[in-house]
Amino acid sequence: MATELTWQEAKARTQAMELEIAHSLPGSKVAKVDQLPTGVLIDCSDTLVNWHGATTVTLTEGTEPEPLVRAFEAKYRDTRFNIETRTAPAGHYEVGLVSPDTAEIYLIAPGFEPYTIRIASSSDCFPWVDDGNYKRGKF
């Protein structure tokens, strides 16, 4: 847990990692990268929350996402993340980059539209400081 982390810092760090993942794809295979401008806070405990967001990578026409998704398994092996993979109930392959020490996670999978990859994320947990913002709003 990052006790000194604010939601703004958690968002910035997590979005930076989403973009690092997206920009690590071969440039010739990427048509555009769309990062959601806001995310949500989800409870980690009674006093802690974490920030959740997502980035969608639109691939060039005809580029299948699954081989690129599978490549992240090898790319992030022996890094600060544990690698978790699965075949989702919908039948597509997913790669999870999971921090062994925190709630930080990046789930990389084929997107909702053809020829896309979605990078869903969650930050480290941090204390919620009531600064007048509604905790269930968009951040």
The domains of the chain are located at 7-127
Q: How confident is the model at residue 100 (pLDDT cuts 50, 70, 90)?
A: very high
**In the chain, % of residues over pLDDT 70:** 97
Helix (H, G, I), strand (E, B) or coil at 95: strand
- Per-residue pLDDT, averaged over 95-119, amounts to 97
CA–CA–CA angle 127, 129, 130 (5° rounding): 145
Cβ-based neighbours of 101, under 8 Å, separated by 6 or more? none
Enter the DSSP assignment of 138. B
> pLDDT digit string (tens) for 34-91?
999 999 999 999 889 999 999 999 999 999 999 999 999 999 999 999 999 999 998 9
